Amino acid sequence: MTSPTDEGPVLVTLEGVGLSLSGNGILKGLDLTIERREILTVVGPNGAGKTSLARLVLGLVKPTSGRITKRKDLKIGYVPQRFSIDPVIPITVARFLALPRPAPAETLRACLSEVGIERLVDRPIQSLSGGEFQRVLLARALLREPDLLVLDEPVQQVDFSGQVELYERIANLRDRHGCGILLISHDLHLVMARTDRVICLNHHICCSGAPEAVSQHPEYLSLFGKRAASVMAFYSHEHDHRHGLAGEVLPKDTRSHQKADHGNSEGEQA
Task: Give me the tens of pLDDT residue by residue for the chain, a chain 270 residues long.
Answer: 454 455 679 999 999 999 998 888 999 999 999 999 999 999 777 788 999 999 999 999 999 999 999 999 999 999 998 887 777 788 999 999 988 788 888 899 999 999 999 999 999 998 888 888 889 999 999 998 999 999 998 887 777 777 888 888 899 999 999 999 999 987 666 777 788 998 877 888 877 788 777 666 554 554 444 443 233 333 334 444 444 434 445 555 544 344 344 443 334 444
What are the backbone angles phi and psi of residue 256, rounded to the nearest 5°? -80, -30
pLDDT reported for residue 159: 77
pLDDT reported for residue 253: 53
According to CATH, what is the number of the domain 10-233?
Answer: 3.40.50.300
Angle between the N-to-C axes of helices 130-142 and 160-177, in degrees from 0 to 180, rounded to the nearest 10? 10
Q: Based on the number of CB atoms within 10 Å of its own CB, is 178 exposed (0-12), middle (13-18) or buried (19 or more)? A: exposed
Domain ranges (residues) in the chain: 10-233
In the chain, the amino acid numbered 163 is: Q
pLDDT reported for residue 6: 55
pLDDT reported for residue 78: 95
DSSP secondary structure string for all residues of 97-147: HTSSS---HHHHHHHHHHTT-GGGTTSBGGGS-HHHHHHHHHHHHHTT--S
How much is the pTM? 0.77
In the chain, the amino acid numbered 119 is: R
- Categorise residue 40: left if φ over 0, alpha if ψ from -120 to 50, beta otherwise: beta
C-alpha to C-alpha distance for 20 and 216, rounded to whole angstroms: 35
Q: Could you check whether the bond before residue 100 is cis, i.e. omega within 30 degrees of 0?
A: yes
Tens-place pLDDT, residues 185-232: 876 667 777 889 988 778 888 777 887 776 665 545 544 444 432 333
